[in-house]
Chains A and B, each alone.
Chain A
Amino acid sequence: MSLLAVSDVSKRFGGVVALDGVTMEIKDGEILGLVGPNGSGKSTLINVLSGFYPADRGRVSFGGADATDLPAHKLAALGIARTYQIPRPFDTMTPRQNIAVSHMFGHSRHSFDGAREAAQEWLEFTGLADVADLGVGELTLHQLKFLELARALATQPSLLLLDEVLAGLNPNEIDESVEMIRRIHSQGITILIVEHVVRAVTALSDRLVVLNHGAVIAEGEPGEVMSDPAVVTAYLGDRGRSA
């Protein structure tokens, strides 16, 4: 069953076509990998799905209901949460407060009282309990990426959009993050993961969708998709195919 369905979505910025008639779906309970070369439209798609930009054309439905052109906060309330490639914590707040505030909004919409206790759960889940009350400026990139995860989880989403959570991490940290994503998935959360690190994304994903120049050029089981000639060409150019 599809949790989120995108049909014929287009988005242009001035003369640049960022998304060109994208049709795809995210099935309930899966980890879907979204890959593609730089500038292929992956981040734009995440921004459209999370309500940051309205699409110029096309429909989006979530959980069977039409969700086209809903603003970000309404999509969050329906259960879509996202993270950012470059972490964007609320920087006057501690990690605990960052998580507490998102617990009060999103799909969970809890009241102010008790938000702190709820934050503790996600702090422990992501291993940030030791740094919970420091300023966010004191956290490492790895910790900030986990804070992004914790903050998204505290909204109690059914769909989590991960925008390059592995970028900039060392191999050890990548392994830890992959493990964390598996643990999140095992809680019953559907995941869309946009990633450059192909090794990690093929290992994690049930299915892959490949974007190039704003259009879907391949989708299916990871092993098959990554050996698809069109995908190889998109990544490596024509020489890649002949090699």
Chain B
Amino acid sequence: MTPRGRVLTGFLVAAVALFFVPALVEAADLPRFFVIFLFTAFFWIAQSSSWNVLTGFSGYFSFGQGAWYGIGVYAVAVLTGKHGWSFITALPMAGLAALVAGLGLGLVVFRLRRLTGEIFALTTLAIAFVLAALARLLPAIDGGTGVFMTGTPIPEFLGDFTTAMYRMTLVIMILTVLAAYLTYSSRLGWGLFSIRDDESVAGGLGVPVFRYKMTALGINSFFAGLMGGVWSLQLGFVTVDDVFNIRVPLFVILMSVLGGLGHWMGPVVGAVIIFTLSDRLNSAGLTDVNQIIIGSLLVVLALAVKEGVYVRMRDRWVTTLVTFFGVMAIATIFDLMGSLISDFAVAMVVTVLVLMVPDRLRERVRGGGDGPDQQEGPPVGMETVAETGQ
């Protein structure tokens, strides 16, 4: 099987396996919270993966995630709440509205050569502020009163509310990560990488720079908006302050940077780690220190694992698997933490800490390592040709 075939099979297996998790949770008589925990993780995986296609691949640093997400949330809220659309017809509009907004922004900023770097980042940030102001001012959108979503019926074939949320977020999450992977392993992805490294050289080699940046921004905004559309249900009551704030852009940046920009798997790993940790800290009543802990973790990791946790995990996969499952087994058997999710969080944190040990120190301590660690991997996000070429 080709490497691409293997990865696509992996997607299929993961999708099918995850689809049956809620049924398993019920059969095993585990708390319903597991399902909510998982679909919230799916939300973050999709948000950070879609952000990575633009920022991680093309290097255009975007704070616009909140805007695309917010457009999706409000598209569904307004269409179902104020115009009587059914949820299932309103949902595609969430993706499309965000896509149109994203491409509209791209049409302006990517035509102006000066709008790169900090200016691009600030422009995307400004978009969210403008949208927030518009939503607050216009009664047709919000008008400052908020929009209730609790009366919106969901199609019955999706199951009860929690199961329906799980299924919808699962599908969108899988599609988003798939889009990121297909971009990554194609001419489009490589064109974006070359734009990230040197945009004018890329153009000189024949990379259609404008079209590729538009495509990346389109993928980013569409999936962010689509997931936002589903998330309007989870919010229940949609308000401007809850939707257009800095939380979404900040979290996707944290997650992607921690997991590793530039590789399609980086944001998936980063989202799982940060979301789990943040959820556990919140449920332990540590909401106030939550952000301090996560912020410090990011600083330490950014210094110790520049290429991102995912690339470390792949290069030291033996260490990763042994540590993770070792800690997981011990924690579960002796029931140290009292909950599976907490065990998972602890196992993950220990694994990440072990992965932070620098190569030099490992060599000195052990006089070697697990095979693949020895050779220097290619720079982040660039090993696919090597994999695919075999």
Contact = CB atoms under 8 A, between A and B. Distances in A.
Contacts of B380: 92
Given A72-B203, A112-B187, A92 B382 contact: yes
Given A52-B204, A135-B379, A90 B385 contact: no
A98 B198 CA distance: 12
B358 interface: no
Contacts of B262: 92
Contacts of A77: 206
A90 B206 contact: no
Contact of A115 (B191, B206, B385): B385
A117 interface: yes
A88 interface: yes
Nearest to A102: B205
A143 B185 CA distance: 28
A101 B188 CA distance: 10
Interface string A26-67: 000000000000000000000000111000000000000000
Interface string B170-213: 00000000000000011101110110111011111111110000
A145 interface: no
A106 B187 contact: no
A170 B380 CA distance: 34
A112 to B, nearest CB: 5
B378 interface: yes
Interface string A6-22: 00000000000000000
A182 interface: no
A97 B388 CA distance: 12
Interface in A124-148: 133, 135
B385 A100 contact: yes
Interface in B313-335: none
Contacts of A113: 4, 388
Contacts of B197: 90-93
A73 B209 contact: yes
A192 to B, nearest CB: 15
Contacts of A133: 378, 386
A70 to B, nearest CB: 11
Contacts of B200: 52, 72
Nearest to A77: B206
B381 interface: yes
Given A90-B198, A111-B187, A155 B382 contact: no
Given A52-B200, A94-B382, A101 B206 contact: no
Contact of A155 (B193, B205, B209): B205
A3 B201 CA distance: 23
Residue among B191, B193, B378, B388 facing the most chain A CB atoms (10 A cut-off): B378
B389 A116 contact: yes
A97 B198 contact: no
A88 B203 contact: no
B185 A76 contact: no
Contacts of B186: 112
A106 B206 contact: yes
Contact of A112 (B203, B379, B388): B388
A235 interface: no
Contacts of A88: 198, 201
Contacts of A92: 193, 196-197, 262, 379-382
Interface in B344-390: 378-382, 384-386, 388-389
Residue among B4, B206, B384 facing the most chain A CB atoms (10 A cut-off): B206
24 contacts: A72-B206, A73-B205, A73-B207, A73-B209, A77-B206, A81-B205, A82-B204, A88-B198, A88-B201, A90-B193, A90-B194, A91-B198, A94-B378, A102-B205, A102-B206, A104-B187, A105-B187, A106-B206, A111-B187, A112-B185, A112-B189, A113-B4, A116-B386, A135-B379
9 closest residue pairs by CB, A with B: A116-B389, A76-B206, A105-B206, A90-B197, A106-B206, A72-B203, A92-B379, A116-B385, A102-B205
Interface of A: 50-52, 71-73, 76-77, 81-82, 84, 88, 90-94, 96-97, 100-102, 104-107, 109, 111-117, 119, 133, 135, 151, 155
